[in-house]
Structure 1
Amino acid sequence: MGRSSTHQHRSHRTSSSRKKQRSFWKELPILIGIALVLALLIKTFLVQAFSIPSDSMQNTLQQGDRVLVDKFTPWFGSEPERGEVVVFNDPDNWLAGEPTPDPNALQTFLSWIGLMPSAEEKDLIKRVIGVGGDTVECEGTGPLKVNGKALNEPYVYPGNTPCSQDDQGGRFKVKVPEGSIWVMGDHRQNSRDSRYNQADKNHGMVPVDKVVGRAIVIAWPINRWDTLPVPDTFDQDLSARSAALTVAPQGLALAGAVPPVLWRRRLAIRSVSGRPCDRR
């Protein structure tokens, strides 16, 4: 009797184990589906991975690096700021003539869930130099100036000048319209950025609505892991208003001197014209 009950107990335990295995395999597709939905939501609304296709952002970014891009804050009205590294959709055929990648099935799947960029998406990555209302200028070898203030740019590729030395991209002075940004690569002599696209419909500017998000971290390869903070040079007050205020003291002094001068002249005129009528 004891043997029979032991056999039944073992049989029941084996049956329960088989049911658990079958239950796991039934639930696995559901779990995978949930994971894929979460990955798609993260890709669409939060963070997406992008691969660096060129050397235009050296040495900050190397070709083949994978960066994570914050797509979340733009949903709340946050706009690109000076010094940020941003990913944006091609504004007006900037990538003309560039080879189109031909991904395999695995790459297509990884891009679909956000672990790799889509081959169909024509995206670029550059650093924001000017925002709406800014005046950005450079002459010869630099320095690059924003609203009249020079930028100290340690992130520029070693051996490069802040501005390229040719006439096309080395000399410019532009006013960035509201709703747009002016972008440049850190490898200044190897970057087809806003400087070289001033003949397009946006005059080299990138509309803010073309910006996908801000690159916040280098995620791959492991030995390249690093954050992408805004450089210290952009901590100074670069606003157009502050640039105007530097001229204000002289302007105010002139404006303040004009009323007394006019008042004195008016008194002198009255004095001269009134002499014939003096009854003394």
Structure 2
Amino acid sequence: MGAEVDASARSGRRPKGFLGSLVEIVIIAVTAILLAVVIKTFLAQAFYIPSESMRPGLEVNDRVLVEKPSYWMGGTPERGDVVVFADPGDWLSADEVPPAPTGFRAVLAKVGLYPTGDHLVKRVIGVAGDTVECCESGHVVVNGTPLDESAFIASSDTCDGPMTQDNGSYVEGGCRGWKAVVPEGRIFVMGDNRANSADSSFHLCSPERQESGDKACSSAFVPVSDVVGRVAVVFWPTDRFGFEHRPETFEAID
């Protein structure tokens, strides 16, 4: 009887050996990294929530996935979107900037596989050309339409307006009153936890400085180019898993 021949011999192939296996592993790893970079650049990126400014919807250390295709091909943030964006001008204090990840975590962060927290997350209240003001009967008003934000902002005994900031604004009905027109190419954002959110309303200049054209006042508005994407889902912790949707109240704005 002839000697048995293994499958690799019958097929004319020789065993890979250590070097062949190593080359295959390297190719798989490089391909995986390239795919991760493409996904981070064009499709989605993970972030964690660094503060309480978006409570109750987003809690500190929630991990969220930010999707980017919504703003492709000329698309821009819409009223009601929860967006992640780069600091538009000293919004983050030194103690609010998290330490950069190190070691393997730093590598994962570079390719979008490890959540980062060096950005801000807020809700879009106004887009270019909108007039945003506070407050009518305790509600934030956009283009003359009061917003019913009771379904998603932290409850307040006074109004749906922001935390107090001495910027030369007036007080009306227990709320800090202000009014602003959103410049072209920018958005006006607020945190859902209005009593603890240093957002666009917090950084507004006094009406006099706004009218004078003071360039420093522009930092209250977030450049659309600084927006990374829209928060689509909370994926960690698992007991808080859920999708983020645009509230219906914004549909009534002209």
Counterpart selection for 2:161 from 153, 156, 163: 163
Q: Specify which structure has the bigger relative contact order, considering alpha-carbon pairs within 8 angstroms and separated by 6 or more residues.
A: 2
- Out of 194, 197, 210, the position equivalent to 2:203 is 197
1:183-210 deviations in Å (ceiling 9; x for gaps): 0000000100001112444151111111
Aligned mate of 2:145, from 145, 149, 152: 149
TM-score (norm 1): 0.75
Q: 1:245 corresponds to which residue?
A: none
List per-residue Cα deviations over 1:63-108 (Å, max 9, x = no partner): 1111111222323110110000011111111113334333231321
Q: 1:229: which partner in 2? A: 245
Specify whether residues 111 and 179 from structure 1 end up closer, same or farther in structure 2 by C-alpha distance, changes over 3 A only. Answer: same
1:230-269 matches, cutoff 5 A: 230-236=246-252, 238-239=253-254
Runs (5+) with no aligned partner, structure 1: 240-280
The one-letter code matched in structure 2 to 1:173 is K
Q: How do residues 1-280 of structure 1 correspond to structure 2 at under 5 angstroms?
A: 2=1, 5-6=3-4, 9=6, 18-19=15-16, 23-102=20-99, 103-118=101-116, 122-139=118-135, 142-153=138-149, 154-159=151-156, 161-164=159-162, 166=164, 168=166, 170-199=176-205, 200-236=216-252, 238-239=253-254
Cα distance in 1 for partners of 2:241, 2:163 equals 33
- Going from structure 1 to structure 2, the CA distance change for 1:186 and 1:118 (only over 3 Å counts) comes to closer
Identity %: 41
Structure (1/2) with the larger helix percentage: 1
C-alpha separation in 2, matches of 1:135 and 1:11: 73
Equivalent pairs, count:
232
**Structure 2: distance between partners of 1:99 and 1:118:** 13
- Structure 1 residues 32, 62: closer, same or farther in 2, change over 3 A? same
Q: Distance in 2 between matches of 1:228 and 1:149?
A: 23
For 1:163, what is the secondary structure of its paired residue? coil
**1:140 touches 1:163 (CA, 8 Å); kept in 2?**
no
Q: Secondary structure at the match of 2:16?
A: helix
Q: In the alignment, residue 61 of structure 1 is paired with which amino acid?
A: L
* SS of residue matched to 2:79: coil
Deviation of 1:159 (Å): 3.6
Over the aligned positions, Cα root-mean-square deviation in angstroms equals: 2.6
Cα distance in 1 between the residues matched to 2:85 and 2:8: 62
Question: Amino acid of the residue matched to residue 134 of structure 1?
Answer: D
Give TM-score, length-normalised by structure 2. 0.82
* Poorly superposed stretches of 4+, deviation over 6 Å: none
Tell me how far 1:22 sits from its aligned partner: 5.7
